[in-house]
């Protein structure tokens, strides 16, 4: 029996100590080269393993997967094969890459065909996202926002500790890391006593989030329990849910975010499997008052994922503005999925469910500029000497995430995008 998470495993492919992609990770993504069409790859060190060619060369013969699955533009069909198969592929790759296995290690001809440096490939959207849901599940973030915009003594609305609040968002504008976008435009109301005005957003913000990808579909009318939720979650990505704060303030009553959110969201390209993240499970918040039975769960369901946000003004070095952690989530993925489907809402493979802004309990761990600068009253200084209240034109926002334990670092790669001036 293979344990692909074994911290003692090493690979014959050289992997730097601070690499996001050691042999214990093996995340899946979609890539293409100058000479190849889109296909499924797995990250190892600074390289990408071409699974379509691996399959053609017979390395997956015992698993028996049609090669069209590996040459697909998205991971959806691969994910649809089920966890027994996808985990089997990960285990087989782990076996092939281990230091003592000569099968691929000593086959230089095969290596030349199946290995590409990440710097030489283009990463594409890993999944076709049919539906996207964004939650609001960090208690520190919700408390900060409630304190700013309402009474600090009633920062959380009455429903917040009883259910994971969420809303259905726009899937078409979720883009892969490296996709730049123009500053959004819309209605704002800068002066309470005057009518609204139209123009570019002035208070553009990032939101530090993760997202999980549905790996097993349900039919209309079915519900997913917290106990079997993990069977329906394939893996996770980093997620920047860009937010136009001034547009949102004016438009969100009574139905919530619309133009303030649907212009762009950015994800990291590699999907880190839930299996790779299992060793980093940790205890979550004590949920008081007691949740309803369908939201109860057992065991440690939070995950210890370090999350960093950096801002890079044009032509200068990046500045760290937030160091947070996914373990600060009040509501777990399992609870979010159970709540999402308790009414019979059906889930499809590739659906993406985002965590909501992840803020920790201290200012250095806040997950948005809204909180970091406290509505612009405490500007943040960049390394080039400039200051930021929100995100300026030509700023690049970079998010990085990784788990670390027992000498193993499981990372997500980068989630980055540059803000171009409004069209």
Find the helix or strand (DSSP H, E) in which 104 lies.
helix 102-105
Q: Tell me the catalytic residues.
A: 141
CB 267 within 8 A of CB 177: yes
421 C-beta neighbours (distance < 10 Å), count: 10
> Residue 125's CB: how many other CB atoms inside 10 A?
20
The DSSP secondary structure of 45-96, one letter per residue, reads TTEEEEHHHHHHTTTTTTT---HHHHTSSSSHHHHTT-HHHHHHHHHHHHHH
Q: How far apart are alpha carbons 176 and 340 in whole angstroms?
A: 25
Indicate the DSSP class of residue 183: P
Report d(CA 191, CA 186) in Å as an integer: 15
Rounded Cα–Cα distance for residues 71 and 50 (Å):
10
Distances (CA, A) of 118 to 49, 91, 178, 239: 10, 22, 14, 21
What is the distance between the alpha carbons of residues 295 and 331, in angstroms, rounded to a whole number?
Answer: 9
Contacts 24+ apart (CB under 8 A), 106-114: 110/57, 110/59, 113/50, 113/53, 113/57, 114/49, 114/50, 114/53, 114/54, 114/57
Write down how long the chain is. 423
Residues facing residue 49 across a β-bridge: 42, 115
Under 8 Å between Cβ of 150 and 253: no
Cβ(161)–Cβ(154) below 8 Å: no
């Amino acid at each position: 029996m293979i344990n692909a998470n074994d911290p003692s495993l090493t690979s014959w492919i050289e992997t730097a100590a601070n690499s996001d992609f050691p042999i214990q990770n093996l995340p899946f993504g979609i890539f293409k080269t100058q000479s190849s069409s889109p296909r499924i790859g797995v990250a190892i060190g600074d390289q990408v393993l071409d699974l379509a060619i691996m399959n053609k060369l017979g390395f997956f013969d015992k698993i028996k997967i049609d090669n069209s699955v590996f040459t697909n533009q998205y991971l959806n069909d691969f994910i649809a094969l089920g966890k027994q198969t996808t985990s089997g592929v990960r285990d087989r790759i782990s076996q092939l890459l281990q230091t003592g296995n000569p099968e691929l290690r000593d086959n230089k001809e095969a290596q030349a065909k199946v290995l590409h440096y990440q710097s030489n490939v283009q990463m594409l959207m890993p999944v076709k996202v049919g539906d996207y849901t964004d939650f609001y599940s960090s208690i520190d973030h919700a408390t900060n926002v409630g304190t700013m915009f309402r009474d600090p003594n009633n920062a959380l609305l009455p429903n917040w500790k009883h259910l994971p609040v969420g809303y259905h968002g726009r899937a078409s504008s979720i883009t892969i890391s490296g996709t730049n976008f123009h500053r959004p435009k819309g209605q704002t109301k800068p002066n309470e006593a005057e009518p609204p005005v139209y123009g570019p957003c002035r208070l553009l913000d990032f939101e530090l989030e993760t997202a999980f990808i549905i790996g097993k579909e349900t039919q209309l009318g079915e519900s997913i329990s917290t106990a079997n939720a993990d069977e329906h979650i394939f893996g996770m990505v980093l997620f920047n849910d860009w937010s136009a704060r001034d547009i949102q303030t004016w438009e969100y009553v009574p139905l919530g975010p619309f133009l303030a959110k649907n212009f762009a969201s950015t994800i990291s390209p590699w999907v880190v499997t839930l299996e790779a993240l299992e060793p980093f499970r940790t205890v979550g918040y004590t949920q008081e008052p007691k949740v309803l039975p369908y939201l109860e769960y057992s065991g440690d369901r939070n995950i210890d994922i370090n999350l960093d946000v950096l801002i890079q003004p044009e032509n200068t070095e990046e500045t760290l503005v937030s160091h947070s952690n996914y373990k600060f989530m009040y509501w777990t993925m399992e609870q979010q999925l159970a709540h999402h489907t308790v009414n019979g809402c059906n889930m499809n493979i590739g659906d993406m469910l985002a965590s909501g802004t992840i803020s920790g309990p201290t200012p250095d761990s806040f997950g948005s500029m809204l909180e970091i600068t406290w509505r612009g009253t405490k500007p943040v200084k960049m390394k080039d000497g400039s200051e930021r209240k929100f995100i300026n034109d030509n700023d690049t926002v970079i998010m990085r995430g990784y788990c670390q334990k027992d000498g193993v670092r499981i990372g997500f790669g980068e989630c980055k995008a540059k803000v171009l001036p409004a069209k």
